[in-house]
Amino acid sequence: MSREYETLQVEDLGDGLLLLTLNRPSVANALNTQMARDLLAFFDDASAAPNRQRCIVLTGAGDKAFCAGGDLKERLGMSDEAWQDQHLIFERMVRAFMACPVPVIGAVNGAAYGGGCELALCCDFAYAADTARFALTEVTLGIMPGVAGTQNLPRAVGERRAKELILTGRAFSAGEAYAWGMLNRVCAPAALRSEAIETGRRIAGNAPIAVRQAKHAIHFGLQMDLASGMMLEIEAYNRMVPTEDRREGVRAFNEKRKPQFKGR
């Protein structure tokens, strides 16, 4: 992507892999209105032209915070109307994030509190440094999670665990998040980014249409009954039958070589 963002850094790592960094380290990468606008624009662009990238790794600048949550200094003194207007941007952003057809891997390098924890939960899956901490603290501030936290957390850890974490607002460790199913891997801090990038490269090396269709079938199939989910799976599968990538994959297998997928 060639667009410049005020609060994000986008690095092209080659072969369709992007490193997306929340870039407000002086305030622990707190989520302000501009960052929400930037994330909305980024994910809108990714959805509009999904063949331009094959996988995205999301992390935070610095080594202490992934994202400390909503920027409460910006919110201090906001009128009710201004607060709701800002939150509408957050809502649009998180919908664009979750609708992105390109896989997103979270690389949680530090504190992920409030909205930062919710951003991590929006990723397709996530790794974290063993020093990372998580919390959904909104009820301690007179609000509640409002960017899909009440929906994504119970889907990751179960209803009863999610209620405990959201209703108490207590912090929890990367080890706990892993044990409960919220994280796929806990890494040494120095190895986190490289391990997430390694997985991203593996995904980027696979057939991009197949990857996107599989992600689609998993995500939406889980919201259906089994019979409907199986129908969705076959519809997604049939999308790949006439593709060049499907033919290339079979040829490469029989020729004992690595396939060269084009996303066509």
Catalytic residues: 118, 138
Positive or negative torsion for Cα 6, 33, 116, 125? negative
Which residues on adjacent β-strands are paired with residue 11? 19
Positive or negative torsion for Cα 61, 67, 72, 74? positive
Is 261 in contact with 248 (CB distance < 8 Å)? yes
Is 61 in contact with 69 (CB distance < 8 Å)? no
Alpha helices, H only, the chain: 33-48, 72-75, 80-99, 115-122, 149-157, 159-168, 174-180, 192-204, 208-221, 226-238, 244-254
CA distances to 40, 125, 192, 216 from 89, in Å: 8, 24, 30, 24
The residue behind tokens 């790949």 is: 240
CA distances to 26, 117, 173, 200 from 61, in Å: 9, 15, 20, 19
